Amino acid sequence: MSCLFCSIVNGDIPSNKVYEDELAYAFYDIDPQAPVHFLVIPKEHILSAGAVTPENSAVVAHCFEVIAQVTKELGITDFRVVSNCGLQAGQSVPHLHFHVLAGRDMTWPPG
Ligand code: AMP
Ligand code: ZN
């Protein structure tokens, strides 16, 4: 199975890494939508937020620990976390990822 974000985790496709441990990987988005825009992903291939189960949810909680830690390290206190699930919601890469956006005013509702 070929998956863009699995290839980034494997190092087959280069990325601008922010953080890595045995469960999670974080890297700057190639097309930033805010002054700070990085993605946090589980290394395990999970399709989307709609594919989270009792068996794999621990890594999702871990991703949020990573988000809290990395934003703290970057000195960011105000940020938005987004996970698009499915085509209508704007998901373009079918590997669960959390966008972390910061550095500008955010509007609500999102587009
Ligand atoms: P989504 O559209 O919510 O599935 O988010 C996928 C994100 O991955 C988009 O914001 C893209 O800009 C980003 N992206 C796609 N390819 C790469 C890449 N090679 N390195 C970093 N970010 C990427
Ligand atoms: Zn994948």
Q: List, as one string, the DSSP characters of 76-97.
A: --S-EEE---STTTT--SSS--
**In percent, how much of the chain has pLDDT > 90?**
98
Cis peptide before 110 (omega within 30 of 0): no
Share of the chain above pLDDT 70, in %: 99
Ligand that comes closest to the CA of residue 83? 1
Catalytic residue among 37, 45, 62, 97: 97
Ligand minimally distant from the alpha carbon of residue 9:
2
> What is the C-alpha to C-alpha distance for residues 51 and 38, in angstroms, rounded to an integer?
22
Q: Which residue, chain included where needed, has tokens 């985790």?
A: 9
What token pair was written down for 66?
Answer: 């990573």
Q: What integer is the mean pLDDT of 27-44?
A: 98
Confidence bin at 111 (pLDDT 50/70/90)? confident
Ligand 1 neighbours by CB, cut-off 6 Å: 4, 13, 15, 27, 29-31, 84, 90-93
Q: What is the mean pLDDT of residues 26-48?
A: 98
Mean of all residue pLDDT scores within the chain = 98
Of the residues 8, 39, 85, which should be mutated to test ligand 1's pocket, given the most ligand atoms within 8 Å of the CB? 39
Confidence label for 47 from pLDDT (cuts 50, 70 and 90)? very high
